[in-house]
Homo-oligomer: A and B are copies of this chain.
């Protein structure tokens, strides 16, 4: 352990990638989910993430990893973002490359750094509860663990993955930290109910906090070639060799989620700690989630989002997202999802909200990429 207090060595990393296919046609290749205000707060999810992390790591210690196409939009949202904290991907390579490159660059610049990666498009309103969990996770990371934050479930959600908790790690600086027994995929409703009753399951918020060198070491155990590429990039990053190295190395990087390269193997090896978080959290994964966010949990509401929406509703419930300026009239439709944009209209139900992704896949295959 370093002598500098752990929190002073903490760096936030925001991977701002992913389109959010389940939120099509609101979320698009050129207007991904993290650039939308899905909460009605008046700010984008990316800005909300920044505002949550700034007070914890300091604004000068937040790195954003995003696609080249989104650079201007990201910088517009985050004018405080320092140039050296922007990492641009020439093409998407999933979360291992994004977070691993940030870890490698930061470790190269500042050995002993602790990094925490937080998705750009999640919603958390209890910033105090969030901060408490992050601070505990940073302590667990300082003790050598890869830490994650698990959210105490409030309902048997089937749209989230779960973390099965093991025994307490007995860490003095992070007494709530327990071992991760295993990660479990999105369950059926019956299984989710069992998890909730069991009490030893937390929602997987996809947040990872660890010393950068510990993360890279774990990655190297499982994907040595990928680690090698990332270290090569990091070594060249702050030199005039960056461009050429990116052009050569980036296209060959394996495209794989960090869940498989770091989190699950580390859990199996007993190197993963989880901090239970008692704050609210939502990954706003589909339009049903948006509806719920906007109706305060009440089922029989109609949530209306958009630019100056004009909606006339008669005995209807669900979600309307209006980005076309047109008058939208609903009569007697329940749990409906209407997403109205200038070139594409989606109509489904909250129950079918998860199926939007497969339709987007079908659109891709059928050559209708113009509306994606």
Q: How far is the CA of A200 from the CA of B351 in the complex (A)?
A: 46
* B346 engages A331 (CB within 8 Å): yes
Residues on B with C-beta less than 8 A from A346 are: 329, 331
Contacts of A352 in B (CB 8 A): 331-333
Decide: B348 and A312 in contact? CB cutoff 8 A: no
> Which B residue's beta carbon lies closest to that of A342?
B326
A178-235 contacts to B (CB < 8 Å): none
- Residue contact B347 to A336, C-beta cutoff 8 Å: yes
Q: How far is the CA of A25 from the CA of B340 in the complex (A)?
A: 16
Does the CB pair B326–A359 fall under 8 Å? no
Contact A332 B312 (CB under 8 A): no
> Complex formed: what's the CA distance from A330 to B356 in Å?
9
Number of residues in A with C-beta < 8 Å to the partner? 34
Instruction: Verify if A328 is at the interface (C-beta below 8 Å from B).
Output: yes
Report the separation of the CA atoms of residues A336 and B332 in the bound assembly, to the nearest whole angstrom.
10
The complex places the Cα of A331 from the Cα of B333 at a distance, in Å, of 14
Taken residue by residue from 320 to 347, chain A's Cβ proximity to chain B (1 for < 8 Å, 0 otherwise) reads as: 0000101111111100101010111111
Shortest Cβ-Cβ A-B pairs, 9 listed: A332-B352, A331-B348, A327-B344, A328-B345, A329-B346, A331-B352, A327-B371, A331-B355, A330-B347
**Could you list 7 A-B pairs, sorted by A, with CB under 8 Å?**
A314-B358, A327-B371, A329-B359, A332-B348, A332-B352, A332-B355, A333-B349
Given contacts A327-B371, A333-B348, 12 further A-B contacts (CB under 8 A): A314-B359, A324-B345, A326-B345, A328-B345, A328-B347, A330-B347, A331-B352, A331-B356, A332-B355, A333-B349, A338-B347, A347-B347
